[in-house]
């Protein structure tokens, strides 16, 4: 693996390992950070440990990389198929050393690139939740991690002359460049794994009942009714014995209010509101009921009925036009949460239809009619080898 800190290397490494193991390939990750935390008694959350001018720390970090490289070589010698070196491997010097040490094995460098500031900041917040940063305040930990990244920048050289490499946008899972000059076993599988959406356990939930639901109004930012709050408490109780580290919501009050009781019954849980998961923008029809739309804008009512998927509200959007942002939200969710095991999205009826159709192929004309109730949720598990969907009642 190659890339600056917090660029998704470990998530990609874990994905590759698990997918290869599913095909009975003996694969193992050798993570420099894990070894560093075991070997170094000093506080490695302090940024100065990564300062290239800190000669003592440089020697320690080089020693850790050397030990891990030796462990990987021994694993391969003992019959292992794929050793994954999970570290920044940011310098050309480090990569040359890897190639020299493993000169009897084909090497594939996978460089993870992500320059999305919002996701980088969210990723840093996830990183500093680990015990390594427990003695620092949140502000101190963020400053320290960002300073750590800055120390890597002067030595960071992107892959370009290595014989075998893939440069991938780790947020959108798109290959930016690849070069394969030698035979690399499992290359086709690995490349496919890198660009395929997989998720172990996703719970897709619609927010609880709102005052707008009672009046059959669309859009807006209505709050939950007492019944809606009761539904949120029932959800919290249902998931209380299951670890939910991350809950993604829209930026609307009704989704966040549904998430809060669930978070309260978890040991450790973070709510991440994403604008990408907001409900359809109904434009000039926002906050109106369907009967009001039919009466005031009969042409909107009739035109939308003819092609609900492709129709966009005047000054607003529709299913087709919201696809790009929903896909972007799904990529953010997968990037931040795929190492968490269980992920939850609390969204809206139309937004959830689009999320569901992303994983489960449906004809475009059928997407606006997917059943998204408020007393049930969808359980989704998608891997390289299977897709599983189940509609489950929580009360």
- pLDDT classification of 85: cutoffs 50, 70, 90: very high
Q: How many Cβ atoms from other residues are within 10 Å of residue 324's Cβ?
A: 10
Domains defined along the chain, listed by start: 9-195 (3.40.50.300), 199-393 (3.40.50.1240)
Rg (alpha carbons) of the chain, rounded to whole number: 24
pLDDT surpasses 80 at 346: yes
DSSP for 180-236, written as a single string: E-S--TTHHHHHHHHHS--EEEEEEEE---BHHHHTTB-SS-PPB-HHHHHHHHHHH
pLDDT tens for 296-343 read 999 999 999 999 999 999 999 999 999 999 999 999 999 988 666 899
* pLDDT score at 146: 96
pLDDT tens for 162-204 read 999 999 999 999 999 999 999 999 999 999 999 988 888 999 9
pLDDT tens for 15-57 read 999 999 989 999 999 999 999 988 887 778 899 999 999 999 9
* pLDDT score at 339: 66
DSSP for 11-42, written as a single string: HHHHHHHHHHHHTT--EEEEEHHHHHHHH--S
* pLDDT score at 373: 95
**Average pLDDT score, the chain:** 94
Residues acting as catalytic residues: 206-207, 213, 254, 279, 348
* pLDDT score at 43: 73
376-385 mean pLDDT: 90
pLDDT tens for 121-164 read 989 988 898 888 988 999 999 999 999 999 999 999 999 999 99
Which of 330, 270, 239 has its CA nearest to residue 127?
Answer: 270
85: which DSSP letter? E
pLDDT surpasses 80 at 384: no
pLDDT surpasses 80 at 252: yes
Cα–Cα separations (whole angstroms), residue 169 to 9, 39, 110, 162, 272: 11, 32, 10, 18, 22
């Amino acid at each position: 693996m190659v890339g600056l800190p917090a660029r998704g290397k470990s998530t990609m490494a874990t994905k590759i390992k698990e997918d290869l193991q599913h095909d009975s390939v003996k694969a193992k990750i050798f993570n420099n950070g894990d070894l560093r935390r075991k070997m170094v008694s000093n506080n490695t959350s302090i940024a100065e440990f990564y300062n290239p001018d800190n000669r003592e720390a440089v020697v320690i970090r080089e020693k850790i990389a050397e030990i891990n490289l030796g462990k990987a070589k021994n694993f391969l010698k003992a019959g292992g198929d794929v050793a994954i070196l999970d570290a920044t491997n940011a310098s050309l010097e480090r990569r040359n050393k890897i190639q020299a040490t493993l000169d009897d094995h084909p090497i594939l460098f996978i460089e993870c690139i992500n320059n999305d500031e919002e996701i980088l900041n969210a990723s840093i917040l996830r990183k500093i939740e680990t015990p390594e940063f427990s003695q620092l305040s949140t502000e101190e930990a963020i400053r320290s991690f960002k300073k750590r990244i800055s120390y890597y920048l002067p030595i960071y050289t992107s892959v370009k002359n290595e014989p075998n490499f893939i440069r991938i946008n780790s947020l959108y899972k798109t290959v930016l460049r690849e070069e394969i000059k030698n035979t690399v076993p499992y290359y086709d599988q690995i490349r496919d794994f890198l660009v395929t959406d997989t998720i172990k356990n996703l719970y897709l939930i619609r927010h609880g009942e709102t005052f707008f639901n009672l009046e059959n109004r669309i859009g807006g930012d209505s709050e939950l009714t007492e019944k809606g709050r009761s539904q949120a408490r029932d959800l919290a109780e249902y998931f209380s014995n299951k670890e939910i580290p991350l809950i993604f919501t829209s930026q609307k009050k009704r989704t966040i209010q549904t998430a809060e009781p669930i978070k309260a019954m978890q040991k450790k849980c973070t709510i991440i509101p994403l604008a990408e998961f907001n409900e359809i923008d109904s434009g000039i029809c926002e906050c109106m009921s369907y009967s009001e739309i039919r009466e005031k804008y009969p042409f909107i009512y009739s035109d939308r009925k003819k092609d609900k998927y492709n129709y966009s509200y005047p000054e607003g959007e529709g299913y087709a036009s919201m696809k790009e942002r929903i896909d972007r939200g799904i990529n953010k969710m997968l990037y931040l949460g795929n190492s968490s095991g269980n992920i939850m999205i609390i969204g809206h009826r139309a937004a959830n239809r689009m999320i569901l159709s992303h994983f489960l192929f449906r004809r475009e004309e059928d997407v606006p009619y997917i059943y998204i109730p408020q007393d049930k949720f969808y359980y989704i598990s998608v891997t390289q080898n299977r897709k599983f969907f189940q509609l489950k009642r929580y009360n």
